[in-house]
Amino acid sequence: MAANTIFFMIFSLVAIISGFVMITRRHPLSAALSLVVTFISLAGLYGLLAAKLLFIIQILVYAGAIMTLVIFSIMLLNVQEEDLPAEERIIERVSITTLILLPMIYIIGRSFTVIKDGQFPEVSQDFGTIHSVGMFLFTTYSFPFEVISILLLISLLGVVVLAKRRI
Amino acid sequence: MTLTLYHYLIVAALLFCMGMYGIITSKNAVRVLMSMELALAGVSINFVAFSNYITPAALTGQIFTIFIMTVSAAEAGVGLAIIFNVYKNFKTVDMDKIDLMKW
Amino acid sequence: MNYTVFLPEILVLITASIVLFGEWAFKSIDNSTEKKVRNIGFVTLLGMFAALGVLLSFETTGYGLITSFFSPETSTFYSSFVLDSSAIYFKIIILISSILTVLISFKYVSDKIKNVGEFYALICMATLGGMFMSSANEMISMYLGIELISISSYILCCFNKDHNKSSESALKYFIVGGLSSAILLYGFSLLFGLTGFTQFPQLASTFDKFTAPELNAIFLIGVIMSIAGLGYKIAAVPFHAWAPDVYEGAPTPITAFLSITSKIAGFAAISRFFLIFNNSMSEKLVVLVAVLSVLTMCIGNFLSLAQKNIKRLFAYSSIAQAGYLLMGLIPLLMNRMDDSASILFYLTAYIFMNIGCFAAIIYFSKFTGSTDIEAFAGVAKKSPFIAFVFSCCLISLAGLPPFGGFTGKFYLFVGAVNSGYTWLAFVGAVNSVISLYYYVKIIKTMYFVESTKDIKFELPNAGILTAVILSLAGILILFLVPYPFIQMAKMSALGL
């Protein structure tokens, strides 16, 4: 077995298991920490796919910054253990959603078999580096890049408006 | 076993469905937000894998992933602010108790 | 690069910045909230009118309304952004609806909203998102446009911060929005994975090999998930559950905004997305759209019958209207450009009908203190003119002459019949009759039920009065002289 196959199995298993832990734990803090594990193993998957810049961004921005924000807010909300919503009628909920989602997974999984030859082609050395991503981002996709600045301004504005107390 | 596109797509589909499951079933509003991030992470794997597979010369999929990350950061910020506001008004983050109006 | 194509967007963005960062300046001029709101709102209106003027003067509109000063390229930024005649038409109606929303909001905002500058800035930004959606020619730009309008709407829904219902509606909208944008992205990722392109024209050119000889399963899933993600924006039926709660809880001007601007933007995005399909795929999609249309109409109308709260009723009524509008996508998919103008025309009429209703709702509920239909008893005696316009708009929504709603629906049904969907037009007509019941019930409450409380009504302020007069004029003109407007819509539909 090739080395990258082994790494793929480790990373994907860790990602899926910790994702599962995330959606089943009662306390949001344990959920958030297992989501961090998922994101770090996703970074590993990106690395296997030769996405060098994304590998860094995933760890720095996603697992680092965004999840810190989430964990910080969980601490700030400070919901006590006994005030956590009781997961009642859990079997009912689980079975209904599984009934909906299982056929979906099955159909999606089946449809992927259409891809006859899923071998990845050889990529060049600078595939996914900061230089090549930057070249793309500032030429072909410069319009979305401009739009995203407005989006970030909106979210900044929204957080200030919603979270601040009386003027 | 050689590593193919198929394997990545299955991992992505599983993560996406787990995220969807979390959004639908979670009773804690913060976890609903985290489940959204999980679903978007599944989509991101899809994009990166496809980018490597179908456009080895161009980086379209990876660019898309960068945008998804940025948007989900913005979304997380706004979402947490909304959850704060809800918590201030309702004194709970239980999705079942936040139902002055019927779904 | 020619930046004049972006001039309307840039103007709206500048307006947003002025309103946002210049709030302190308005505050120092005058300390009363009412005057501040009026000043800020006036600046917002000015900016939007400027953008509207620039749009009308673009040469590619071909309307000859104003002699053109600019002749923009049709697409720029590596074809991420396209400015064809249909995009211009959609932008014009998006701007008109935002202008009317701002007009009806003055009184409400000065009574209930504390952060005035941010409120109008976010309305500008959401409008901007809608404008980007209508000229997005590529997946990433479309996704960002959708997020722009969605995220600003989440925040706007939450603006009555101390109101439990307002924050609840924001949370619900946020969750449904996040869910559907994830679904949309998954669909986009599959479509991208099959072709390797994100630009719509290039996508369209490669789709042939996925539809023949048999339909590629991944392609089908991708298309269905993308439609599901876009369908939430227009509140089409399987994705409509958020609408009633969000409409009820949100501040009333925002409810108007969601029911008009957001819906128009959704239809702009969907019609642009549908253009990428070739003929063999379109045939299959037509059936899907017809089924969605029937479901949306029927469920929207039947659930409206039982509603007690008027904002909730308008949520279901706007779902039903989305059903009629979906009918207009059928000629578009079948490449019958003449008939696909009907959707543009009906959207134009829809703005005026809905804004008239919401102006009246804001005005009445200020004095009755409630948005229950019962509370509207006897308001016709207190304020005959507004009640009259409200009734006209309701009748127009039900699709009866002599108002624009009738003309619009007529063209929608003719389009469906010409495309071979006579049964669909029939279902639409039956639904219109059903909808008449709950619309007339409101009119009956206003005119024939005696009011139990004795409330004194103040005269409506200038904003509401202007909006009401404009909406009455709009629906009357669209009925009496529809021809130039239909011509305009047809001209724009050619660009679709």
C80, C121, C161 ranked by CB distance to A157: nearest: C121
Residue type, A28: P
Asked if residue C431 lies in contact with residue C323, where contact means CB atoms within 8 angstroms, the answer is yes
Residue whose structure tokens are 């947490």: B80
Beta-strand ranges (E) seen in chain B are: none
Residue A40's pLDDT is what? 93
A51-73 confidence digits (pLDDT tens): 889 999 999 988 888 888 888 88
The verdict on whether omega for the bond into residue C213 sits within 30 degrees of 0, i.e. cis, is yes
Residue ranges with strand state E in C206-270 = none
> What does the pLDDT read at residue B102?
64
Check residues C426 and A108 and name the one with the higher pLDDT: C426
Q: How many CA atoms lie within 13 A of B66 on its CB side?
A: 25
Q: Does B26 touch chain A if contact means CB atoms closer than 8 Å?
A: yes
Share of chain C above pLDDT 90, in %: 43
- What pLDDT shows up at residue C34? 79
With bands split at pLDDT 50, 70 and 90, how would you rate the model's confidence at C31? low
Across the interface, whether the CB atoms of B3 and A28 are under 8 A apart is answered: no
Per-residue pLDDT band for B103 (boundaries 50, 70, 90) equals: low
For residue A85, the model assigns a pLDDT of 66
The whole-angstrom separation of Cα C436 and Cα C394 is 9
Q: Which residues of C307-338 are buried (b: 16+ CB within 10 A; e: fewer)?
A: bebbbbbbbbbbbbbbbbbbbbbbbbbbeeee
Name, in order, each residue with C-beta under 8 angstroms of C380's C-beta and a sequence gap of 6 or more. Answer: C387, C388, C446, C447
Residues C411, C424: Cα–Cα separation, whole Å: 13
Token readout for A106 is 């099955």
In chain B, what are the domains? 5-90 (1.10.287.3510)
Q: Is A10 on the interface with B (CB under 8 A)?
A: no
Chains touching A (3+ CB pairs < 8 Å): B, C
Q: What is the distance between the alpha carbons of residues A15 and C401, in angstroms, rounded to a whole number?
A: 61
With CB atoms and an 8 Å threshold, state whether C158 touches B90.
Answer: no
Residue from the list A42, A77, A141 with its beta carbon closest to the beta carbon of B87? A77
Give the pLDDT band of residue C63 (cuts 50, 70, 90): very low
**Do β-strands C81-82 and C75-76 pair in parallel, antiparallel, or remain unpaired?**
antiparallel
Cβ within 8 Å, pair B76-A66: yes
Q: Say what the pLDDT of residue B74 is.
A: 93
- CATH architecture for residues A3-85: Up-down Bundle (1.20)
Q: C-alpha distances in angstroms, A100 versus A61, A104, B21, B60, C321?
A: 33, 7, 9, 32, 29
At position C157, the amino acid (one-letter code) is: C
Mean pLDDT of C295-319: 91
Residues of B with Cβ-Cβ distance to A16 under 8 angstroms: 11, 14-15, 18
CA gap C317, C398 in Å, rounded: 10
Q: ipTM value, please give it.
A: 0.95
For C106, half-sphere exposure in the C-beta direction (CA atoms, 13 angstrom radius) is: 23
- Percent over 90 (pLDDT), chain B: 43
What gap in Å lies between CA A98 and CA A20, rounded to an integer?
13
Nearest to A141 among C140, C147, C217 (CB): C140
CB pairs under 8 A between B and C: 121
Does the pLDDT at position B28 exceed 60?
yes
Does A104 touch chain C if contact means CB atoms closer than 8 Å?
A: no
Q: What is the pLDDT of residue C59?
A: 57
Distance from CA of C9 to the nearest CA of A (A): 11
Region A125-151 average pLDDT: 88
Q: Decide if A149 touches C, using CB distance below 8 A.
A: no
Q: Give the one of C170, C179, C245 whose C-beta lies nearest to B82's C-beta.
A: C170
CB contact under 8 A, C196 and B54: yes
Q: What is the DSSP string of C439-475?
A: HHHHHHHHHHSPPSS--PPPPPPHHHHHHHHHHHHHH
Contact C123, C138 (CB under 8 A): no
Calculate helix-pair angle for B29-54, A28-48, nearest 10 degrees.
0
- Angle of CA points B2, B5, B7, to nearest 5°: 70
- Residues C117, C20 contacting (CB under 8 angstroms): yes
Residues of C in contact with A111 (CB under 8 A): 217-218, 220-221
Which residues does residue B94 pair with via DSSP β-bridges, in sequence order?
B28
Domain ranges of chain A: 3-85, 126-167
pTM to 2 decimal places: 0.93
